[in-house]
């Protein structure tokens, strides 16, 4: 990468400002911890404690790791302050449309039993086979360049004592995001197709777009009971829509969902949007249907197609999971205590936001321009930005704390200060 001197100084200032903002209100010791973690992750693209210690220049790796472990164990004492700082930092970067993508992922540790509180997860990278590991629940949004920002990122185990139900857990996260960042549209995949979460979103005053889990789901059209499949097969008239070279057919119909447990959905008119051509039936190889259920007010072609566009942006959170696990080696984490793993996942989400900050500034444009890419069209920039930051960080001073907390000038020991004379004669 070219122009190292200029980029070095700019990135140094940006890093110092980010650490100051994230650790605002903390003491020097805790700020030192945040500084080490931030600069260590950025410099090595790794959450392993030994890598974080190495960037500080300390020769005794063992003592440095033990110091970081003590801070991870006591992170609850400062977590609220850092969370408040993070919320204030990301608010100006959130896209005004406020699309909230809800999804879950996992990190697997099937080859060992040494990790604390291991549960069972469905390994998404291995045909959803049951494996030992931890689940990551996440709600992300987009910045003004359509890059994902984590709003909620919680690593959990199925063995947690306070674990009650998935619906209760996600309801808490949805309420937090709505209260903290404002009303928006919660966009969810098929695994969240349930009346409980739909009603929770409606109670908060937000909207939702959820992909129907199966086409045999019962819905009501004009008071008559039918299925999504029957609507898809017999509906006439559609809008043409092109997505990544695919010619799709889209049409919409108003529906209602009646359940025994929820009251909100009985009176809430919803819109069912059918998309044909986006997927393929594995058995017949014919064009299959994708069904989206939304609480948005849909009054015409533009509204219908906008719902489809917003749902397709949901893939950004999948990229964010991949970015977190591959770029920063989260799945190869060596820390074994459950609480420390949870804390490192949270801190990694904070540090990842730094790439968004750089990407939206002039320095980000320079980094993207200088990093070679293979694809003609790049829609996820954060890999290249992160690699550029890592490359430049190798030239940065390892002592960022000296910039944040400059050392005092040594006390003068001349005749006038020793004798206690307050003035100097002319």
Give the separation between CA 123 and CA 111, rounded to whole angstroms: 13
- In this structure, what token pair is assigned to residue 416? 């006038």
Nearest to 332 by CA among 129, 70, 33, 49: 49
Phi-psi region of 348 (alpha: psi -120 to 50; beta: other; left: phi over 0): alpha
Give the separation between CA 363 and CA 389, rounded to whole angstroms: 10
Helix (H, G, I), strand (E, B) or coil at 239: strand
Find the DSSP H helices in 3-146: 4-22, 28-44, 49-54, 61-73, 76-90
Q: Which pLDDT does position 423 carry in this prediction? A: 47
Q: Is the pLDDT of residue 378 over 80?
A: no
Helix (H, G, I), strand (E, B) or coil at 270: strand
Model confidence pLDDT, tens digit, residues 126-154: 667 888 888 999 999 999 989 999 999 99
Model confidence pLDDT, tens digit, residues 292-312: 999 999 988 999 999 999 999
Give the separation between CA 345 and CA 138, rounded to whole angstroms: 11
- Residue 404, number of CB atoms within 10 A of its CB: 17
Q: What are the angstrom distances between the C-alpha of 347 and each of 81, 322, 343?
A: 13, 17, 6
Q: Which pLDDT does position 340 carry in this prediction? A: 93
- Residue 291, number of CB atoms within 10 A of its CB: 22
Average pLDDT across the chain, whole number: 84
Q: Is the pLDDT of residue 168 over 70?
A: yes
Structural contact between residues 115 and 100, judged by C-beta atoms closer than 8 angstroms: no
Burial class (CB in 10 A: 0-12, 13-18, 19+), 98: middle
Q: Which pLDDT does position 236 carry in this prediction? A: 77
Task: Identify the residue whose tokens are 């006038």.
Answer: 416
Buried b (16+ CB within 10 A) or exposed e, 59-81: eeeeebbebbeebbeebeebeee
Q: What is the phi/psi pair of residue 250, to 5°? A: -125, 135
Q: What is the phi/psi pair of residue 153, to 5°? A: -145, 100
Opening angle at CA 355, ends 353 and 358, nearest 5: 115
Model confidence pLDDT, tens digit, residues 33-49: 999 899 889 888 889 99
pTM: 0.88
Model confidence pLDDT, tens digit, residues 237-294: 788 888 777 788 899 999 988 765 555 566 788 999 999 887 776 666 566 889 999 9
Q: Taking the CA atoms of 82, 88, 93 and 94 in sequence, report the sign of the dihedral they define.
A: positive
Percent of the chain with pLDDT over 90: 39
Q: Which pLDDT does position 89 carry in this prediction? A: 96
Give the separation between CA 230 and CA 222, rounded to whole angstroms: 14
Structural contact between residues 188 and 211, judged by C-beta atoms closer than 8 angstroms: yes
- In this structure, what token pair is assigned to residue 201? 């979103």
170 pLDDT band (50/70/90 cuts)? Answer: very high
User: What domains are defined for the chain?
Assistant: 4-89+336-404 (no CATH), 190-312 (3.90.350.10)
204 pairs with which residues across the strands? none
Cα–chain center distance at 155: 12
């Amino acid at each position: 990468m070219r122009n190292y001197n200029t980029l070095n100084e700019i990135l140094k200032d940006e890093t110092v400002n980010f650490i100051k903002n994230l650790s605002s209100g903390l003491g020097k010791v805790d700020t030192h911890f945040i500084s080490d973690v931030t600069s260590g992750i950025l410099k090595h693209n790794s959450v392993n404690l030994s890598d974080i210690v190495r960037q500080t220049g300390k020769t005794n790796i063992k003592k440095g790791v033990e110091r970081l472990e003590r801070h991870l164990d006591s992170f609850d004492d400062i977590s609220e302050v850092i969370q408040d700082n993070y919320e204030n930092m990301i608010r100006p970067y959130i896209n005004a449309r406020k699309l909230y993508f809800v999804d879950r992922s996992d990190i697997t540790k099937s080859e060992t039993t040494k990790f604390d509180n291991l549960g069972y997860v469905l390994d998404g990278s291995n045909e959803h086979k049951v494996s030992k590991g931890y689940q990551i629940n996440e709600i992300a949004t987009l910045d003004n360049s359509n890059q994902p920002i984590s709003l909620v990122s919680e690593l959990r185990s199925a063995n947690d004592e306070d674990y009650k139900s998935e619906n209760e857990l996600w309801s808490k996260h949805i309420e937090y995001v709505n209260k903290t960042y404002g009303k928006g549209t919660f966009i969810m995949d098929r695994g969240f197709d349930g009346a409980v979460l739909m009603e929770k979103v409606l109670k908060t005053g937000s909207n939702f777009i959820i992909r129907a889990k199966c086409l045999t789901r019962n819905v009501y059209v004009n008071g008559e009971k039918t299925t999504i499949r029957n609507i898809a097969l017999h509906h006439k008239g559609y809008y043409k829509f092109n997505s990544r070279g695919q010619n799709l057919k889209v049409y919409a119909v108003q529906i209602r969902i009646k359940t025994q447990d929820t009251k909100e959905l009985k009176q809430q008119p919803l819109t069912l949007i059918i998309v044909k051509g986006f997927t393929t039936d594995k058995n017949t190889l014919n064009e299959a249907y994708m069904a989206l259920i939304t609480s948005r007010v849909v009054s015409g072609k533009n509204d219908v197609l906008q719902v489809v566009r917003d749902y397709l942006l949901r893939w950004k959170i999948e990229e964010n999971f991949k970015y977190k696990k591959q770029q920063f080696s989260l799945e190869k984490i060596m820390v074994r205590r459950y609480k420390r793993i949870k804390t490192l996942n949270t801190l990694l989400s904070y540090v990842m936001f730094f790439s968004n900050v750089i990407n939206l500034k002039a320095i980000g444009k320079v980094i993207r321009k200088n990093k070679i890419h293979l694809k003609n069209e790049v829609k996820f920039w954060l890999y290249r930005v992160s690699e550029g930051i890592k490359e430049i960080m190798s030239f940065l001073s390892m002592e960022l704390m000296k910039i944040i907390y400059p050392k005092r000038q040594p006390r003068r020991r001349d005749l006038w200060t020793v004798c206690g004379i307050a003035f100097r004669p002319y």
